Amino acid sequence: MPSLTLPAVAISESLKVSKGSIPSATAQGAEKRDIIIFSDFDGTIFMQDTGHILFDHHGCGAARREQLDEEIKTGARSFRAVSEDMWASLNVPFEDGFTIMKQKLEIDPDFDEFHKYCIANDIPFNVISAGLKPILRKVLDVFLGETQSAHIDIVANDAQISHDGSEWKPIWRHDNELGHDKAASLQEFKAIASSESEDGSVPLIVFVGDGVSDLPAAREADVLFARRGLRLEEYCIENKISYLPFDTFADIQTELARLVQQDQEMTHGSGKPAQYNPRANFWRRASSKKTVPTLSSVRASATPAPGNTFLPVEQNYAPQPTLVS
């Protein structure tokens, strides 16, 4: 688990710093520690769930969705089985469905500034989600602009979506009850990439999340940020996992700068980070300059019926090859 030097409650007090006082990611005159950030999407970058908005307005409806959600919570049915029912209930063209998402979605008020901070400091930011990749990419393109969105890589399920909106079919990354097992995705990274950056130092791995699908990642980062008051934070408290609570990404930006400054003072940016967690090594392997992995997304095996064409899906996931150097 992350070996932070301050308890979560004490650290949260340090987050009450004005945006204007947020320092740069590294101190002048010191080697820069490589930093890689992985983040959930629904409930983390955006306050609402993209799928829930679609189901409530163009599918099974809020009441039925809540019944189906309860089946997942009680273990009566798997996440994948229930999700397939929800997506199958949709009957709306993609662009029309996105119209309601644009109206209802609320991005974290400080995410745009935080992501620009990441770009300015050459910090790769990656999304790992149980959602559908075409939807997530479209949302980021619209809310951030295509140029900024292009700096974010996405690992999620693909989808077949008919142009008339009569069929929405997830193309699952994994053939199991989860559909997209985030832990399995991380193991895929581990198998194909090296664990160290080019200069021999060890990157600092940061994970940001909020809910149930993020639980497998809770023990696997050097620094874990959990949205305050939601399931991931509850899980960390229940299992005594070190974490940092956050209300907005401004909190993360402030705390990240503090942690980097602490690391610079203790390690001068070389070797292992001050917050080193050996269980995060497969994240480091995923982000190495030496071996930059390209993961092929799961592709549709079925041929569309005559006259029924589908929206294209992103065919490859290529993690950003550039680390802080």
State residue 222 phi and psi, 5-degree precision: -70, -40
> What whole-number distance in Å separates Cα of residue 189 and Cα of residue 194?
9
pLDDT category of residue 324 using cuts at 50, 70 and 90:
very low
Whether the CB-CB separation of 198 and 290 falls below 8 Å is answered with yes
pLDDT category of residue 1 using cuts at 50, 70 and 90:
very low
Structure tokens at 202: 């060890």
pLDDT category of residue 216 using cuts at 50, 70 and 90:
confident
> What whole-number distance in Å separates Cα of residue 20 and Cα of residue 177?
46
Sign of the alpha-carbon torsion through 218, 191, 314, 140:
positive
Dump pLDDT digits (tens) for 309-319. 333 333 332 32
Q: Find the mean pLDDT for residues 201-215.
A: 81
Residues with a known catalytic role: 40, 42
Q: Find the mean pLDDT for residues 219-238.
A: 88
Determine which helix (DSSP H) or strand (DSSP E) holds 117, and give its type and residue range: helix 111-120
Dump pLDDT digits (tens) for 127-183. 988 899 999 999 999 999 999 999 998 989 999 999 999 999 999 988 878 777 776
Q: Find the mean pLDDT for residues 196-221.
A: 74
> What whole-number distance in Å separates Cα of residue 78 and Cα of residue 76?
7
Is the pTM here over 0.85, yes or no?
no
Nearest Cα neighbor of 130 from 103, 151, 159, 152 is 159
Whether the CB-CB separation of 175 and 77 falls below 8 Å is answered with no
> What whole-number distance in Å separates Cα of residue 245 and Cα of residue 307?
50
